[in-house]
Structure 1
Amino acid sequence: MGFVKEFKEFAFKGNVLDLAVGVIIGAAFGKIVSSLVEDVITPLLLNPALKAAGAENIAKLSWNGVTYGNFLSAVISFLCIAFVLFLIIKAANKMKKPAEEAPAGPTEDQKLLTEIRDLLKNK
């Protein structure tokens, strides 16, 4: 098998294309969630809470040259994004229709009764 043919089979498999689409959609969805957190949640909820705590500009907090405020800002941002994703996934799962369960097969008693029935029919 030639190298080009082998690469073509690899690159155009359904799994590779599905993965590429997933990555692209994931990146776009990440931008939506980041914008929601930075442009909506932070100004409405986080900024008033930080002002009340006296830490309006958390990113500039430092101690002996260690800017731990950047780290705290990143942790708070992560927690906000994780919480928003949790809420979105929870809402999406509620909207999904529950999958119909496959009908259960006959029980052992039903199988035995069917065999007895078939034996009685054959007599």
Structure 2
Amino acid sequence: MTGRAERSARPQHPAAGSGPPIACGYLRRGEGKRVSVPQLQQRIMAHARELGFALYHPIFVDTVPGSPLQRNAFRVLLDVVWELHITTLITPSLWHLSQDDAEARQARRRLTSYGCDVIFMR
């Protein structure tokens, strides 16, 4: 995962240009939250449909605390975004990237540097 910035060209995804654009979904489960993971996943799927995206499955879900790069699902998400040229990430809010504002902005910048826009549902 290190070294992505040095790559000069990404491999072309075989499905590029066919069908609706593909978005990824991401959420982080936190303590004390009232909305369940399945409810959030349903909302992400509905939001993707409303915006005309096909949703890459599965939706990436982190259930452990830590900075984004310390979380398994977020690291895998970065790999998928890079390798498959995913141009959009749908997540409920900035909090799902990180509770820490600086970390959340850094995670968003990383995704943007890979050519992936982040859409917040609220």
Alignment TM-score, normalising by the size of structure 2: 0.22
Work out which of the two has the higher radius of gyration on C-alpha atoms and give 1 or 2. 1
Alignment TM-score, normalising by the size of structure 1: 0.22
Identify, as 1 or 2, the structure richer in helix: 1
